[in-house]
Structure 1
Amino acid sequence: MKNKIHSFYSRLKIKHKMILLLTFILFAFSSGGLMVLQYAFHVYNEEIYKQSAQSLSVSSNSIENELIKLERLSFQLTTDIYVQHYLQQLKSSTSNYEQYIIGMNLRKRLLEIGGSDKYINSIQMYDMNSYDYSIGNRQVIMHEERVKQIMSQAKEHKGGARWVFPGDADPSLLITREIRAYENISLDTIGVLALRINIEELAKDFTNSLKDYNAHLVIFHEGDVVYPLESPISKEKLKVNFTGDSGYHLMDEEREQYFVTYTPAEYTNWTYTIITPFSNLFEAITYVKNAVFIVNIGLFIIILYLSIRLMNGITAPIESLNKKMKIVQSGELDLFVETNKESFYQDETAEMHDNFNVMMRQINELITENYKKQLVIKDSEFKTLQAQINPHFLYNTLESINWTAKIEKQEKISKMAESLGNLLRSTISMKEPIIPLNKELEIVNNYLTIQKYRYEERLSVETNIPSYLLTIPVPKFVLQPLVENSIRYSLEKRIGHCAIKIVARKADDFMFLEVTDNGPGIEEGSVTQLLRGEISSTGTGLGLKNIHERIQLLFGEKYGIHIMSEIEKGTTIQLILPYKEESEDVQCVIG
């Protein structure tokens, strides 16, 4: 039996041996690790719940006691004999001065009863005319909708206390009561009390211990959050998951997992929760991980011994092949020498060595061949792109002359023809792909002369180029297509004035040429398509692509065209070029 197993294993391919080995290792580690981890997390969750439940119980009881005191204070305020007397006087008084004096006395009495409580933001008392008599360090003028809500809630409970939860306009928790006259047991409504409570300060005073775990106290009632205004857990989940007796949940909210302990309050029927990010609780689980680590070490030693015996016959040829790969990885291909002195079993490892040797010979041949092809392709691309731009410019210039011949008289045509002649001479005489900036500006000025006769007062051009940049070499015919593009989109498609600004500036080793117009702008999604030549337009969408690629062919990937545009505010096309003192430096790039 033993001999049969050994014979079967020796005939297996390497991948089958590795699968068998990994299956055994993973099964052993998974079984032991999962059992221990499952028990560890269960113990940890129970311990965290006990600590959190204890802290929650202390905090909720303390807050509830303070809320009871404040509710009793609201009862004392509404039944105070002086408060009742002043409100009765305000109800019957018609003199403004008398009402003012009574109001002062009412505020003084309110201050004597409840002005010293640190959790009270303000005491708001309203007479039958809804006039506010308020005292407190943090008084507010409540919004009309908030006042209506208070009046409505108080009226529904007919003198009983009613809690009004915080809102965006007022972050205070409110106790509201309808004030009824008990003299002669008439129970007539004589006012409304709203006690504004600083629930945030109240909660912080009794939850200081939660800061160590970055935990949050959240109080809610039937899905409405009492504190704070923004809860880490959504209202929908609070309403569904926390019903019945005390307990805990593990909840996910916006890719964050939370450990939530909850308990209902007997007096207010509110639900108090402590919400703690689960990631902050892992310190206490270190002791459990140690137990898992000890068990895994025992399993690892046994598996490691068996794995070494099995893998020695597999790793030796792979390590030899790895040494060859490191030689290639270093880039020293000339040092790579094929060797046939190595002897391996006739399995996949031997085939890997043979295939690697063949692959390296083919790679060296392909590198040499590809290098030669790239030199030819770069030269062909450059000549093709440059030839594609010049006919495009000539077509647009002839079209401008045609328009002028139809609209203007012969005087202007002669001057336009003169400018066109200069452009043609510049095209034919200057064969160099790179020229000084002042020469490129001459081409632009000749083109603008023609266009100014065509559009007259509708076109204005401003140039701001420092003198020290005029001798900087730039690719030929990169500026004129940008100006043409601005004129086409700003004038031919709109009725109004077109203002074009040409600016040159230097920053570090870069020179920036910018053409800005006040045209209709380009949509954000169309900018990338323009540079790729994917948009067929009446302007130079294809020309922008050619200029961008030509600059990158000449100078490298970090140069080219950058487009900045905003709808109905204009477009700026920026050429990013190298700043070189002498043209010879740039010519070297082409060479």
Structure 2
Amino acid sequence: MFNVKALYRNLRIKNKLVVLIAAIMLLVCVLMFVGQQYAFDVYDKEIYRQSAKSLSLASVGIESELEKMERLTFRLATDPTLQSYLSKIKQAGTDYDRFVVAGYIRSRLVELGGMEKYVLSIQMIDYYGNEYAAGVKRITNSERRIQQIKEETGPHKGGNTWIMPSSDDGTLSSARMIRSFQELELEPLGTVAVRIDMDSLFNDYLNKAGEQSSMQLYILKDSKSIYPVSETKEEERLSGYMEGRQGYTTINHEGKRYFVAYVPSSYTNWTYMTLIPYDNIFERINEVKRAALLVLGFLFLLALVLSFRFSKGITGPIEKLNVKMKRVQLGHFDTFDGDIDRDIPMDEAGQLHRNFRMMVQRIDDLIKENYVKQLAIRESEFKALQAQINPHFLYNTLETINWSAKMSGQRQISQMVESLGFLLRSSISIKEPIILLQDELEIVKHYVTIQRIRFEERLDFQLDVPEMFMQTSIPKLSLQPIVENAVNYGVEQMIEPCTIHIRAELVDGQLVITIEDTGPGMDAKFLAELAEGVVKPRGSGLGLRNIEDRIKLCFGEAYGVKVVSERYKGTKVSLNLPFERREDDV
């Protein structure tokens, strides 16, 4: 619940309005739907009751006909003529006598009930198991069926017995044992069975009751199907639908939805059940339901569209103002160029736009004014930093030349003077604070020429800079002071040779120039003081802090100087610079 509340609070105002209106409309639609469902449920129940009532009336008519069938079997079993014929067959037992009597029996069966409307045939079985049939659809029962009839009628001793359909004969039969009533002997003479035309009987009475032709009728007895004849266990499922229910219900059967009505028989222990496809009964109602749902859905969508347009009219100017604020946040102060606010109404949102425009214009003026001042300050700082270089470097170089002239003779003075001349010309003639890397390396080479004459084989200088980096911009006198520090703190402090290696490479899109020496290195404390500018550098007096400040002034805070050193493991100074080639200077 807390997460939903927090989510709603963080929504945009437009979405809040849409959600609020949609929630109200959804509530109205739900209430209307619930009311509609209640009305349809009441209507459905009334239809259910009427269908169950129709089935009850049909079952009464069907059972009335079944009672007639039962009375017909009684009349056949007690008919004196039929009893006399059966007695002769039992007593005589000759084939000729049976043949003669058989014709009389069939004629008598037709006279008594062989032409009844719902009688398929009358099957009479004599004492010896011979069968005599009469009717519109006579059959000859199998010995198994005859034996079944005898076994099921025997225990009732002349009472009516309903013979269930089987694979041998798929009809319902009313049967009873024929017993002699002359002189109350009650000796068995045979058996009579009336086969009932169940299809005609059920269809006639269900049509009278107004049931639909698509209906399926089932008659169940003890979870077994009497009609229609079923060789599966489907009747067990149908019987299960009636458990705990009264009269009617709705079920899903064989993947379809059915309306079920059932009535227990008052005459037998059977149950009459009808299955009617739900869509056949409630097709029109379902159409009305679907139409109502479509209308509700359309109203809901219409409400969403209108709420969106309504909320957009309120929040549109606010969203435009938010976009302007984001552009200003990114440094774009041209947001208000042109007449872009003419469609914004002059309500509270319009007043916000006007006040924000005036505020941004004032901020823009202040930024421009401050920018001009900062440029002047940076230029002054850069010139002041650069001015520190030339006097110190010139003093150091002259001291070296003086020492070399006294110690080694005049043959090397020309080289030193040539290199010194180049350095002096570079410091005087190159006025730009930013020069090409190749020009800076020329300054380093002439400086190293002078120092090689001083230290001879003790100084090993290596340069590994690919040609592709030569046209890259670099602050003037950024490498020479670091090489000078390597000489002062490395070569000068060692007796054995010291290597100074300059290399350049691309790392993550930046140009990294590394000056590495194999000198004595520095401990962590001295390294920290050097980075903070506490230690005053020897030689030119230009420290790493000075070089880093100039790099940041020229290229930004993302660039600078990094020093890695350990005692007795040498020192590595890395300059991070942007890789920008100046092709126009090539």
**Which TM-score band applies after superposition, normalised by the shorter structure?**
0.3 to 0.5
**Structure 1 length-normalised TM:** 0.47
TM-score by length of 2: 0.48
**Structure of greater relative contact order (alpha carbons < 8 Å, 6+ residues apart):** 2
